[in-house]
């Protein structure tokens, strides 16, 4: 099989296998502790230590098959039976039995612990490399208060035992009851605090959790049944204790494809995004074909993917393969380096390929994953950015700080950016009459890459020009002088100084600059070029001629956790440069039909050079920086529920004609494919904002300025469209019929007696509230973030 | 007029008057600066300084009429004209005019300032006691970016001038454009930072802001029109600069009665609840009759109420009076001590009463306000609690801390509580056979108030009993010994020690205790009484026999700001005892019709004594405290949009039979009217949660315990009911038709070729998603709080 060949492949995913209690029982039955003896001679003559227990044998076998980890249940059926007997006694039990069970339960609650035959592992060496599967029957979200209460004690008992055995990771059974997921979450959070070295992972079906719903337990908890048998009913009309325990919660109508994610969101939020809490996505249920539902998992900390052999289907030859949507999901997930837990691989579900076929197939998916392939291919952003994924960097401030040579060198390696610049200059030069000498000024020449490209473009276009290079970094200016002497034959007019202040020897026809940041204007290109415009002849042009800033709403637990790390107390009020990986853009890919909302990524504002509306002083400089202030308000359609953690910022620039630069996620490949110089910007939000499915997100962002600084402020509000409420209409009726309300007419006339005259009510004001079709739907506000970075308090760019 | 008589009345509200530019012009015209001379002899012979300016004269007149403050516009029409000429030039202006205007505007933006004739006040003495009304024509929320931009500069210019004149407070014009309220809020926040000693108040119509909507300005800002005239249209397909400036935002359908509050909420949230930001409620529009819409203002920082004479109607004698809903609103507001700004009082709107009639009428409303009356009447909670309103206190921990005598004394002053206890004992004693001696044990006797009441009840019921008093506070035990000697003739068996540990000389028939906190069990009554149950005979009873804890969702900017004050970093994770005043209960007063939601205030849980289900060790004590753990999940219906800042906690107790104690807001007056001992509990939320109208709030609260501590954790989630989304149905269709999707059939059979076999999709799983009527509506989650006080991290009660 060809997909086994490429042994040099560096795998992204690791594999694990899941064994059931049955598997353990079979291994135990087959195991004979005395033969072979603990130490025997291998054929090769090397002494090999033979596993001393069935579990050790299973671990060894799994390692031999290429599994990095073995997932096994920590407790046996005996423990389940004892727990149920203590905590869930059948109603028909005798009072004496109930009393004994209640006493046993209290003794157990006082000091919880296992008997030997209630656990599957007893030795430290057995536990090495094991992931503990917590008892599946524990109902941490049971409707019954006392079942939950005792399940919490039992869970902590298992975790304490796992911790004793140095087991690092435990996978918890899935929440099943939406109405009590808050209790499940509270218990998980309590465990994360109590066991500070244990990683917990929540097993969740990827969607449609109703497939996992269990019937409410037919048993009544001991304490309650015991209580009820003794005290029939108290004198209080609403005995809350009984109600809160046995109340049958109304069934949530329908459920939702987002229901699984919603449960996860609640759990991880209530656990305050604890990094030791991860997700085990269970792919047992069939996957939906719409990827919108699935893409959200990319923004969550999915550590494990549970893939039972029953999820595989057989191809015509009988080998196990996965359905198309599952294939695609796993290919896309590979980039996040999950551990894939294969279950039931020895059950013989498929006629061909045997146990090995499942892991071979997973490896095949990995190698054919476009995302993984991209990281392995030199020249791609994905390959270039290895190690930088989801790593937050403060944006450069090249105006305030003089860059080191190594930074110039890194960015000069971008083959695409400078090719685009050369192409733009080439076409700009071609558009000038042949034989006529003109002037090109490179404003912010750095170490000279644009000067070099300028000469290439002049050569290609067969044009002659005077080249001026302006640079304010005194260190880079040494490099420019060096290249001037070595490469450029002293043909360049080098000018040292800030382009907002100095003068150039000759006015230019074409001004070339590379002052753009990830958000376009965020390295103060507008302000710098305002100054450099003095270098241009009246009809001169700028390369770039314009640039735009773009935003999209983003979800990412990882970036949220990174941004709020205690390194920097104001860390959630400043934008970061970051190569996105574990993120999900929340907005819909298309503009909404009703025209209210724009596309997935929306334009904020534009800057053009030269400005057409410039009001300049005698030196040719603007009086104020007011004209570089900007404000934008955008409406995004949110098709699937998600949590807003920040905004993704991108830019596009037009260099000349149709030659541009773009990091816009949907257009970058057409405009400037494989350009490496810019990662997107991330504007974080302090408090995650929950956005339901089919909601609208309104984002405001401002570019503000005073005479010393430029900064951004940002804010978001969420809305949902609902039918106009009945009581709102009712209120309107009451209000408009107000004049008819009779006032008291009794008593002698006095200044205090109420008027009979109706108040002057301008009923025309209510005209807008008619019962016309449009009024039947309201955009209802449902939430907002705080205002971020007010007054540039936390983050600004120095002018 | 009788309501003028009570001169001893201590007023809650202060009065101010608002003068227009016309009033100022009239005063200026009538004013002659030379006659009378600056200093002249008064008739009485005392030298009086005559006002030297028209403004000073107006100020003096207002003071004479009883107004504490004068509200006047700070700028004149001349300034409005100059600003408009610079910043809003008509489209038909010549290019030269536009260029000049643009230059003037830039010069102004560079250093904003007034000319003498552009302001109404110039002297420090004129400004004393003045509230500045900021230019009404400033559109801080204009749809046009540049109008907003220049309005912000103009606002800051006015505030800088007010600050120069030592004016403390400025009232800002109302926001008018919901789509740009975020910009309005950002500007206000920027001003609060820039002028750290100035109080800003936002003028807002109490509802229906559409009454205040202005047409978009017919003028085009200079910079834009100028730009457009020069550069017809750029090459970019979507020139964002122009779009973001001129885009016609779609009109919000209908609007909402909550719209005004929603704007205020956004502003104060974006200003991070700055205590220098207040609200000026404008009562010009007619008020609605439903108080649900109005009650929310009680939870906001309403500092001023603007009441123009045009809001008054005439009674049959021609005197100005207010419509009923406005009367009631003002009466209810009086408790918050607002300043009432009367406007147009000299316009002669009403035929009788003259200018004085308006302020007299407001004073009359104050005196007839039930809330104000309650605070003035001794014996009411309102009177008792003077000075404690909205003041956060840490709950007592009488088990851990021994209370000082003065604390006992305060609580012993409650006439109602001890009368109820006496009554309960009296009836319990009556229910015992006459002539038969029994044993009463007071567990936690403190300084002895219950012992004294016990003797009274014995006397009244003509019963004989042995009285035992148990107390663990060694200091209070001295007082008990003193009373034993002086009052009780050594008839009481005094036992020193913790009721959970010590033994009593004789088993009791009736155990009386007063261990309840504001939330019932929050001073560990359940745990203490578990121990004291050893003192009871098998058929013995406890007074109280049971108690319940209750919750309601609460909105209060004030409590939120108090709780997050920097005094205590964990201050938002601990409950407080507080006498509520500036609060609003968000839940609807009735249970929802559909049965999903309970009433306004809901019961969490109950404790009964003696417990029926006790599992006890040989000493008669419980093995663990597990049985005192509780959990409750409640659903509240939220009729009107509001912000959740916390939960209000209450208790009810049954002492004996139908005699009880209650601080439940709807039942306390029936059960134990004027009881003073308990203010409610306030469970704060760290992040305010926005709740839309017609939403559902689900609150989870847990009472948790280990062997040393008891603590509460709390959490909330919000939902809204909407029609099932079209795309959800679509997705379901896609999922269920999945088996029909054709798989690739080409290529040679290989392990990697996809299967033709459809995946095993259990379609029965989708049965729940039918298109039946119920499935057409979903409860959609829209937000949640974090989990508060996890693991008792921030707040616990010591066992």
CA distance B755 to chain A (A): 4
3-state helix, strand and coil shares in percent for chain B, rounded to the nearest 5: 35, 25, 40
Does the annotation place A530 within a ligand binding site?
Answer: no
CA distance A192 to chain B (A): 10
pLDDT above 80 for B694? yes
pLDDT for A543: 98
- Cβ pair B751:A262 closer than 8 A: no
**What is the average pLDDT across B417-423?**
98
Q: What percent of chain B has a predicted confidence (pLDDT) above 90?
A: 66
User: Which of B1, B153, B364, B626 to probe by mutation at the A interface, max A CB count within 10 Å?
Assistant: B626
Residue at token pair 């006439």: B415
Cβ partners under 8 Å of residue B759, min gap 6 = A286, A313, A323, B738, B739
Length of chain B: 799
Does the annotation place A418 within a ligand binding site?
Answer: yes
Pick from A734-748, B705-719, B742-756 the range whose average pLDDT is largest: B705-719
Cβ partners under 8 Å of residue A540, min gap 6 = A507, A508, A509, A510, A511, A610
pLDDT in tens, B398-417: 888 899 999 999 999 998 99
Task: Point out the residue among B626, B692, B768 whose CB comes nearest to the CB of A149.
Answer: B626
* Residues from chain A contacting residue B783 (CB–CB below 8 Å): 690, 782-783
pLDDT in tens, B207-227: 654 544 433 333 445 544 333
**What is the average pLDDT across B56-75?**
94
CA angle A275, A297, A555 (to 5 degrees): 75
Q: What is the DSSP string of A686-752?
A: EEEEEE-TTEEEEEEEEEEE-SSEEEEEEEEEEEEEEEPPHHHHHHHHHHHTGGGSPPP--S---TT
| Cα A332 from Cα A302, distance rounded (Å) | 12
**What is the average pLDDT across B166-193?**
96
- Catalytic residue chosen out of the listed positions B300, B422, B514, B573: B514
User: Which of A153, A188, A244, A732 to probe by mutation at the B interface, max B CB count within 10 Å?
Assistant: A244
CA distance B193 to chain A (A): 8
pLDDT above 90 for A46? no
- Cβ pair A626:B149 closer than 8 A: yes
pLDDT for B739: 32
- Cβ pair B227:A735 closer than 8 A: no
- Cβ pair B765:A185 closer than 8 A: no
B/e letters for B587-617, b = 16+ CB within 10 Å, e = fewer, are bbeebbeeebbbbbbbbbbbbbbbbebbbee
A780, closest residue in chain B (CA to CA):
B692
CA angle A658, A660, A666 (to 5 degrees): 105
Residue at token pair 């990281």: A375
> Any idea which of B44-58, B103-117, B667-681 has the lowest mean pLDDT?
B44-58
A227, closest residue in chain B (CA to CA):
B613
Structure tokens at B24: 């100022």
**Dihedrals φ, ψ of A119, to 5°?**
-125, 155
Q: According to DSSP H, which parts of A322-404 are helical?
A: 324-333, 356-367, 370-376, 381-384
User: Which of B210, B598, B752, B793 to probe by mutation at the A interface, max A CB count within 10 Å?
Assistant: B752
CA distance B180 to chain A (A): 8
pLDDT in tens, A184-204: 999 999 999 999 999 999 999
pLDDT above 90 for B35? no
CA distance B407 to chain A (A): 32
pLDDT for B3: 41
**What is the average pLDDT across A762-786?**
57
pLDDT above 60 for A691? yes
User: Which of A112, A181, A241 to probe by mutation at the B interface, max B CB count within 10 Å?
Assistant: A241
Q: How confident is the model at residue A591 (pLDDT cuts 50, 70, 90)?
A: low
* Residues from chain B contacting residue A722 (CB–CB below 8 Å): 694, 720-723
pLDDT above 90 for A287? no
Q: What is the DSSP string of B152-191?
A: HHHHHHHHHHHHHTT--EEEEPPP--GGGHHHHHHHHHHH
pLDDT in tens, A525-538: 999 999 999 999 99
Distance from the Cα of residue B175 to its chain's centroid:
22
Q: Using DSSP bridges, classify how beta strands B465-471 and B492-496 pair: parallel, antiparallel or unpaired.
A: parallel
* Residues from chain B contacting residue A703 (CB–CB below 8 Å): none
B523 is catalytic: yes
- Cβ pair B254:A724 closer than 8 A: yes
- Cβ pair B605:A768 closer than 8 A: no
Size of interface A-B (CB pairs under 8 A): 434
Structure tokens at A557: 């637990």
B227, closest residue in chain A (CA to CA):
A613
Question: What's B380-410 look like in SS3?
Answer: CHHHHCCCCECCCECCCCCCCCCCCHHHHHH
pLDDT above 60 for A760? no
Q: How confident is the model at residue A685 (pLDDT cuts 50, 70, 90)?
A: very high
Q: Which of B221, B126, B207 is nearest to B174 (CA)?
A: B207
- Cβ pair B778:A253 closer than 8 A: yes
Neighbours of B384 (CB within 10 A): 18
Structure tokens at B409: 């004394």
pLDDT for B32: 75
Averaged confidence pLDDT in chain A = 84
Does the annotation place B324 within a ligand binding site?
Answer: no
* Residues from chain B contacting residue A764 (CB–CB below 8 Å): none
Does the annotation place B361 within a ligand binding site?
Answer: no
- Catalytic residue chosen out of the listed positions A422, A523, A527, A562: A523
For A675, the 3-state DSSP assignment is coil
pLDDT above 90 for B714? yes
pLDDT for A292: 65
pLDDT for B485: 96
pLDDT for A243: 25
Structure tokens at A266: 């609640």
pLDDT in tens, B771-794: 333 445 678 899 999 999 998 888
Pick from B85-99, B320-334, B589-603 the range whose average pLDDT is largest: B320-334
Q: How confident is the model at residue A43 (pLDDT cuts 50, 70, 90)?
A: low
Task: Point out the residue among B313, B314, B775 whose CB comes nearest to the CB of A253.
Answer: B775
- Cβ pair A626:B106 closer than 8 A: yes
With contact defined as beta carbons under 8 Å apart, do A129 and A70 qualify? Answer: yes
**What is the average pLDDT across B36-60?**
67
With contact defined as beta carbons under 8 Å apart, do A403 and A473 qualify? Answer: yes
pLDDT in tens, A637-678: 999 899 999 999 999 999 999 999 999 999 999 999 999 999
Q: According to DSSP H, which parts of A236-275 are helical?
A: 240-246, 259-270
pLDDT for B772: 38
pLDDT above 70 for A746? no
Task: Point out the residue among A3, A255, A713 whose CB comes nearest to the CB of B752.
Answer: A3
pLDDT for A212: 41
With contact defined as beta carbons under 8 Å apart, do A151 and A144 qualify? Answer: no
Comparison of pLDDT for A377 and B512, the residue scoring more: B512
Q: Which of A782, A694, A702 is nearest to A521 (CA)?
A: A702
- Cβ pair A783:B781 closer than 8 A: no
**What is the average pLDDT across B124-148?**
95
Q: Using DSSP bridges, classify how beta strands A642-656 and A659-662 pair: parallel, antiparallel or unpaired.
A: antiparallel
| Cα B159 from Cα B75, distance rounded (Å) | 11
| Cα B198 from Cα B151, distance rounded (Å) | 19
Q: Is the dihedral of CA A344, A350, A353, A357 positive or negative?
A: negative
Averaged confidence pLDDT in chain B = 84
Q: Which of B713, B651, B691 is nearest to B782 (CA)?
A: B691
Task: Point out the residue among A314, A317, A613 whose CB comes nearest to the CB of B230.
Answer: A613
B613, closest residue in chain A (CA to CA):
A227
For residue A226, how many C-alpha atoms fall within 13 Å in the half-sphere facing its CB? Answer: 24
| Cα B272 from Cα B189, distance rounded (Å) | 8
Does the annotation place B417 within a ligand binding site?
Answer: yes
pLDDT for B795: 87
Task: Point out the residue among B110, B193, B627 whose CB comes nearest to the CB of A791.
Answer: B193
pLDDT for A657: 96
pLDDT above 50 for B478? yes
* Residues from chain A contacting residue B319 (CB–CB below 8 Å): 750-751
| Cα B187 from Cα B151, distance rounded (Å) | 9
**What is the average pLDDT across A226-251?**
31
Q: Which of A113, A600, A656, A579 is nearest to A383 (CA)?
A: A579
Comparison of pLDDT for A225 and A481, the residue scoring more: A481
**What is the average pLDDT across B457-482?**
97
Does the annotation place A67 within a ligand binding site?
Answer: no
B327, closest residue in chain A (CA to CA):
A754
**What is the average pLDDT across B647-672?**
97
CA distance B787 to chain A (A): 5
* Residues from chain B contacting residue A187 (CB–CB below 8 Å): none
- Cβ pair A357:B751 closer than 8 A: yes
* Residues from chain B contacting residue A548 (CB–CB below 8 Å): 236, 240
pLDDT in tens, A310-365: 999 999 999 999 998 899 999 999 989 999 999 999 888 888 888 999 999 999 99
- Cβ pair B208:A765 closer than 8 A: yes
Comparison of pLDDT for B613 and A674, the residue scoring more: A674
Q: Is the dihedral of CA A706, A709, A710, A716 positive or negative?
A: negative
Q: Which of A560, A789, A547, A576 is nearest to A680 (CA)?
A: A576
pTM: 0.87
Phi/psi class of residue A798: alpha, beta or left (left: φ > 0; alpha: ψ in -120 to 50)?
Answer: beta
């Amino acid at each position: 099989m060809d997909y086994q060949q490429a042994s040099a492949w560096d795998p992204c995913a690791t594999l694990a296998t899941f064994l059931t209690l049955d598997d353990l029982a079979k291994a135990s039955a087959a195991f004979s502790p005395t033969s072979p003896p603990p130490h025997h001679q291998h054929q090769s003559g090397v002494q090999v230590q033979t596993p001393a227990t069935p579990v050790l044998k299973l671990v060894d076998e799994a390692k031999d098959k290429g599994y990095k980890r073995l997932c096994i249940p920590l407790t046996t059926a005996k423990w389940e039976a004892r727990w149920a007997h203590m905590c869930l006694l059948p109603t028909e039990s005798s009072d004496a039995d109930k009393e004994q069970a209640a006493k046993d339960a209290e003794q157990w609650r006082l000091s919880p612990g296992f008997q030997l035959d209630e656990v599957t592992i007893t030795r430290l060496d057995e536990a090495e490399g094991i992931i503990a599967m917590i008892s599946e029957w524990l109902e941490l979200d049971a409707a019954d208060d006392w079942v939950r209460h005792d399940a919490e004690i039992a869970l902590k008992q298992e975790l304490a035992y796992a911790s004793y055995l140095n087991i690092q990771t435990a996978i918890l059974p899935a929440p099943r009851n939406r109405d009590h997921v808050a209790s499940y979450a509270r218990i998980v959070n309590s465990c994360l605090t109590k066991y500070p070295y244990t990683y917990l992972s929540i097993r969740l079906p990827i969607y449609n959790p109703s497939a996992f719903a269990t019937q409410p337990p037919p048993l009544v908890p001991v304490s309650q049944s015991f209580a009820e048998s003794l005290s029939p009913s108290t004198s209080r009309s609403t005995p809350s204790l009984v109600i809160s325990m046995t109340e049958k919660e109304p069934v949530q109508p329908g459920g939702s494809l987002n229901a699984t994610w919603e449960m996860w969101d609640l759990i991880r939020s209530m656990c305050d995004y604890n990094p030791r809490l991860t997700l085990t996505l269970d792919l047992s249920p069939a996957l939906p074909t719409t990827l919108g539902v699935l893409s959200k998992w990319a923004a969550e900390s999915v550590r494990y993917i549970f893939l039972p052999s029953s999820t595989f289907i057989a191809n015509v030859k009988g080998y196990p393969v996965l359905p198309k949507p599952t294939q695609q999901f796993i290919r896309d997930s590979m980039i996040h380096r999950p551990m894939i837990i294969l279950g039931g691989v020895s059950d013989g579900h498929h006629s061909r390929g045997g146990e090995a076929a499942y892991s071979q197939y997973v490896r095949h998916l990995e190698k054919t994953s476009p995302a993984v392939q991209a990281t392995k291919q030199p020249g791609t952003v994905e390959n270039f950015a290895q190690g930088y994924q989801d790593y937050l960097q403060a944006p450069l401030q090249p105006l305030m700080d003089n860059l080191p040579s190594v930074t110039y060198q890194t960015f000069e390696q971008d083959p695409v950016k400078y090719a685009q610049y050369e192409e733009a200059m080439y076409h700009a030069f071609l558009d000038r009459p042949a034989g006529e000498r003109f002037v090109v000024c490179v404003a912010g020449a750095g170490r000279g890459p644009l000067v070099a490209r300028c000469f290439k473009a002049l050569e290609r276009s067969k044009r002659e020009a005077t080249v001026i290079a302006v640079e304010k970094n005194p260190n880079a200016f040494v490099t420019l002088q060096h290249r001037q002497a070595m490469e450029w034959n002293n043909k360049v007019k080098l000018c040292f100084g800030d382009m907002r202040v100095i003068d150039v020897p000759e006015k230019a026809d074409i001004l070339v600059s590379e002052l753009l940041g990830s958000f376009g204007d965020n390295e103060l290109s507008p302000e710098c070029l305002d100054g450099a415009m003095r270098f241009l002849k009246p009809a001169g042009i700028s390369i770039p001629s314009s640039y735009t800033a773009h935003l999209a709403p983003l979800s990412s637990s990882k970036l949220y956790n990174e941004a709020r790390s205690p390194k920097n107390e104001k860390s959630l009020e400043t934008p970061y440069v970051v190569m996105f990986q574990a993120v999900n853009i929340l907005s819909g890919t298309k503009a909404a039909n009703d025209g209210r909302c724009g596309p997935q990524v929306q334009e904020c504002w534009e800057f053009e050079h030269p400005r057409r509306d410039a009001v300049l002083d005698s030196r040719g400089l603007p009086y104020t920086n007011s004209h570089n202030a900007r404000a934008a308000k955008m409406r995004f359609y949110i098709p699937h529920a998600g949590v807003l953690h920040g905004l993704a910022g991108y830019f596009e620039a037009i260099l000349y004609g149709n030659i541009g630069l773009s990091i816009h996620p949907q257009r970058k490949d057409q405009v400037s494919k494989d350009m490496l110089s810019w990662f997107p910007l991330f504007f974080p939000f302090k408090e995650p904002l929950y956005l339901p499915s089919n909601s609208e997100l309104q984002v405001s962002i401002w570019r503000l300025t005073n005479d010393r600084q430029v900064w951004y402020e940002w804010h978001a509000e969420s809305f949902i469209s609902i039918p106009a409420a009945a009581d709102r209409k009712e209120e309107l009726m009451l209000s408009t019929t107000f004049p008819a309300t009779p006032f008291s007419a009794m008593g002698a006339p006095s200044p205090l007696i109420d008027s009979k005259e109706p108040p002057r009510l301008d009923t025309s004001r209510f005209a807008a509230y008619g019962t016309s079709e449009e009024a039947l739907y309201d955009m209802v506000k449902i939430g907002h973030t705080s205002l971020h970075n007010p007054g540039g308090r936390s983050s600004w760019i120095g002018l």
